[in-house]
């Protein structure tokens, strides 16, 4: 035969045709914006390794949150950065009602009500003087069950402060079940749990450690997963589903799209993926140098995460991308 009869290019012949046959959608509602709020700042502080991302003051957070919600983002994920002097061994400042994260949650709950989905990072690393995601035992290891008891207190404090969703990101065994029980016992039966179900020990978190002024020495390899393990990731996801997770998340995104796909195949609840700080920084740095086109590469990266099977994407570009998309 001289000419091919199968011509996929027919379906690429015009923008209208491509729109008609497009498979993967990307809408503002799919995007969740992670935001940092710091105690004791007079004005927002730039995070140098994440150009365009800042540690907010209470006021600048309120303005930026309202703007993102106006742009149609699906939700906001809040991280708190306390004063160095308020950090201690068991992260008390995360639980205290006057801790920056809880204060900021109350601000945003008052401003925004149910106009957005307010999510809180439910972890100890921002609040501990040693920088680990849990409390330590006598020999300095992260104590799983003692940490879970602390996570329950954190989650209840966050729900009390107005979080619609709590987000345990510390990879303790049984954290979802413990938090579900604790929330229910405190009357927060409507508060949802977004579980960081498969979270890998990743070099891509580097810039985040600056963003939250992390005190960590060493690494998180006794609780976060090794990058090569997908069977283990599936086990983690199954356990979180069994424990009552309302949303399961894979993190990071780009280097783990096969895990996102696996999660989408087995999950009975929505799947989220977190495009983390290092992914943001890499694309930003290359775009700043003019080596890649920022908007097209950001869009492509977000579409790829959706194509892999994520219903929800956490991305520092959420507000900006929402503007492009609307």
As a whole number of angstroms, the distance between CA 82 and CA 99 comes to 7
Query: Which residues lie across from 247 on neighbouring strands?
Result: 194
As a whole number of angstroms, the distance between CA 80 and CA 161 comes to 13
Please identify, using beta-carbon distances, which residue of 90 and 125 lies nearer to ligand PBG.
125
Indicate the burial class of 245 (C-beta count within 10 angstroms; 0-12, 13-18, 19 or more): buried
Of these, 125, 143, 236, 240, which contacts ligand PBG (CB under 6 A)?
125
The residue whose two tokens read 């930003």 is: 284
Of these, 161, 277, 284, 315, which contacts ligand PBG (CB under 6 A)?
277
Point out which span in 107-115, 121-129, 148-156, 304-312 binds ligand PBG (CB under 6 A): 121-129
Of these, 53, 93, 117, 123, which contacts ligand PBG (CB under 6 A)?
123
Collect all residues with Cβ–Cβ distance below 8 Å to 241 and sequence separation of at least 6. Answer: 197, 248, 266, 267, 268, 269
Cβ count near 60 (within 10 Å): 17
Please identify, using beta-carbon distances, which residue of 46 and 59 lies nearer to ligand PBG.
46
Please identify, using beta-carbon distances, which residue of 74 and 168 lies nearer to ligand PBG.
168
Residue of 272, 316, 320, 315 lying closest to 71 (CA atoms) = 320
Both tokens assigned to 181:
């029980």
CB of 212 to ligand PBG, least distance (A): 7
As a whole number of angstroms, the distance between CA 42 and CA 44 comes to 7
Please identify, using beta-carbon distances, which residue of 30 and 274 lies nearer to ligand PBG.
274
Please identify, using beta-carbon distances, which residue of 70 and 201 lies nearer to ligand PBG.
201
CB of 211 to ligand PBG, least distance (A): 7
Of these, 49, 128, 148, 169, which contacts ligand PBG (CB under 6 A)?
169
Q: Restricting to residues 182-211, name those near ligand PBG by CB under 6 A.
A: 205, 208
Point out which span in 2-10, 118-126, 237-245, 256-264 binds ligand PBG (CB under 6 A): 118-126
Indicate the burial class of 205 (C-beta count within 10 angstroms; 0-12, 13-18, 19 or more): buried
Do 126 and 167 meet the contact criterion of CB atoms below 8 Å apart?
no
The residue whose two tokens read 């987000």 is: 167
CB of 168 to ligand PBG, least distance (A): 9
Do 314 and 205 meet the contact criterion of CB atoms below 8 Å apart?
no
Site string for ligand PBG, 207-246 (x = CB under 6 A): -x-----------x--------------------------
Point out which span in 102-110, 119-127, 143-151, 228-236 binds ligand PBG (CB under 6 A): 119-127
Please identify, using beta-carbon distances, which residue of 208 and 256 lies nearer to ligand PBG.
208
Task: State the distance between the two ends of the chain, measured CA to CA, in whole angstroms.
Answer: 46
Please identify, using beta-carbon distances, which residue of 133 and 237 lies nearer to ligand PBG.
133
Cα-flanking dihedrals φ and ψ of residue 86, to 5°?
-90, -5
149 vs 20, 123, 173, 278, CA distance in Å? 51, 12, 12, 31
CB of 202 to ligand PBG, least distance (A): 8
Query: Would you call 87 a catalytic residue per the annotation?
Result: no
Point out which span in 67-75, 81-89, 104-112, 117-125 binds ligand PBG (CB under 6 A): 117-125
Query: Would you call 251 a catalytic residue per the annotation?
Result: yes
* Residues annotated as catalytic (active site), given as ranges: 199, 251
Q: Give the residues lining the site for ligand PBG (CB under 6 A).
A: 121, 123, 125, 133, 169, 205, 208, 220, 276-277
């Amino acid at each position: 035969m001289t000419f091919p009869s199968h011509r996929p290019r027919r379906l690429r012949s015009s923008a209208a045709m491509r729109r008609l046959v497009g498979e993967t959608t990307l809408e503002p509602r799919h995007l969740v914006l992670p935001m940092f709020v710091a105690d004791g700042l007079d004005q927002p502080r730039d995070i140098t390794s994440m150009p365009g991302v800042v540690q907010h003051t209470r006021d600048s957070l309120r303005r930026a949150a309202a703007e993102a919600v106006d742009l149609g983002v699906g939700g906001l994920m809040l991280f708190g950065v306390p004063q160095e002097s308020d950090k201690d061994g068991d992260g008390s400042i995360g639980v205290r009602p006057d801790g920056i994260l809880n204060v900021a949650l109350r601000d945003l709950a008052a401003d925004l009500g149910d106009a957005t989905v307010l999510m809180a990072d439910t972890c100890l690393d921002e609040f501990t003087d040693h920088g680990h995601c849990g409390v330590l035992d006598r020999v300095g290891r992260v104590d799983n069950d003692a940490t879970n008891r602390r996570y329950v207190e954190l989650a209840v404090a966050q729900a009390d402060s107005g979080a619609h969703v709590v987000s345990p990101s510390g990879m303790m065994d049984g954290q979802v079940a413990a938090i579900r029980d604790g929330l229910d016992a405190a009357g927060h039966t409507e508060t949802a749990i977004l579980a960081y179900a498969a979270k890998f020990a990743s070099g891509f978190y580097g810039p985040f450690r600056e963003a939250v002024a992390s005190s960590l020495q060493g690494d998180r390899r006794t609780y976060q997963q090794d990058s090569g393990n997908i069977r283990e990731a599936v086990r983690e996801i199954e356990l979180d589903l069994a424990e009552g997770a309302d949303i399961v998340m894979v993190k990071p995104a780009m280097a783990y799209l096969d895990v996102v796909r696996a999660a989408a195949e087995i999950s009975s609840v929505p799947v989220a993926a977190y495009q983390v700080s290092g992914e943001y920084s890499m694309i930003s740095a290359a775009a700043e140098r003019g080596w890649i086109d920022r908007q097209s590469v950001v869009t492509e990266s977000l579409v790829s995460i959706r194509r892999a099977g994520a219903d929800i994407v956490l991305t520092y570009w959420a507000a900006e991308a929402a503007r492009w998309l609307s």
